[in-house]
Amino acid sequence: MTGNDTAGLMDEAFFTPGSSSFAEFLAAHRPRLLPTASPLPPGTSAAEGSFPHGTTVLALTYGEGVLLAGDRRATMGNLIAQRDLEKVHPADDHTAVAFAGTVGLALDMVRLYQVELAHFEKIEGIPMTLGAKATRLATMIRQNLAQAMQGLAVVPLLAGYDLGAPTGEGGRIFAYDAAGGLYEKREFHAEGSGSPYARGALKKLYRPGLTRREAALAALHALYDAADDDSATGGPDLNRRIFPILSFITEDGYERLPEAETEELSREMVRQRDGRPDGPHVAP
């Protein structure tokens, strides 16, 4: 409902022609429902460690498409706020988004983005192109700039399969800065506090044409290296059976790797680390 909720009837805003953007519709009729509506008074900043933050997420292309992965830890300063946070979410059939940053705002932004893509397709009758999806998310992040300046930044990572790309080149990765700057990344990328260590691991492990299993193990090794050097990133928790999220996007669509397979791969990766604690060596 956007106006008077009398008798449960929709008001005229629902029948007035407008753009295909659901976010613009909310901004015009219910701006307080947008995640970019700051919970803090103007001129104030969030105290460090006062809100849960998600940390390391990464993406890499492989032979069939693109993989998007994330650890499960959220922190508040030096405290672990959550051990099983979901940081990777499908946006539509061929696109997924992961996030680092303020958890509450990020989850609201992801939900709004999912509705934004579905709303566009219903209004226009066709899905957005992958490039347009990336640009639309950049616009939403830019609208969050005021909150980012107050210490409530959200930094997503977008991955998708471009159905119009040549065979073998469909997997694409898009990164953002807190001001909404959009950057397409080749081969792999990582965001969050553990991202320098994850990117360092992927520099060693990545090669074009990885199989699905090889890509999954490379992502797990990268997250393990991030957790090894960054206390805000959580590695696989074998005792609690909490493992990273691994999602694949191919021509056939989005698929989250089942928990049993993720556990099997995580345990294999940990066994490999028994012999080489610092991870796989680069082949000569």
CB 158 within 8 A of CB 174: yes
Instruction: Give the CA count within 13 Å in the CB-facing half-sphere of 100.
Output: 24
Helix (H, G, I), strand (E, B) or coil at 212: helix
What is the CA 192 to chain-centroid distance, rounded? 10
Q: Measuring CA to CA, how many Å separate 156 from each of 8, 122, 181, 214, 250?
A: 37, 25, 11, 24, 20
Choice among 2, 6, 36, 55 that is catalytic? 55
- The residues with which 190 forms a beta bridge, in sequence order, are 58
Total residue length of the chain: 284
Question: In sequence order, which residues have a C-beta less than 8 Å from that of residue 197 and are 6 or more positions away?
Answer: 222, 225, 226, 228, 229, 230
| Helix, strand, coil % over all residues of the chain, rounded to 5 | 35, 25, 40
Could you give the CA distance from residue 73 to residue 79 in angstroms, rounded to a whole number? 10
Could you give the CA distance from residue 270 to residue 282 in angstroms, rounded to a whole number? 18
55 is catalytic: yes
CB 57 within 8 A of CB 88: yes
Burial of residue 135, with CB atoms counted within 10 A of its CB: 0-12 exposed, 13-18 middle, 19 or more buried? middle
- The residues with which 188 forms a beta bridge, in sequence order, are 60
Catalytic residues: 55
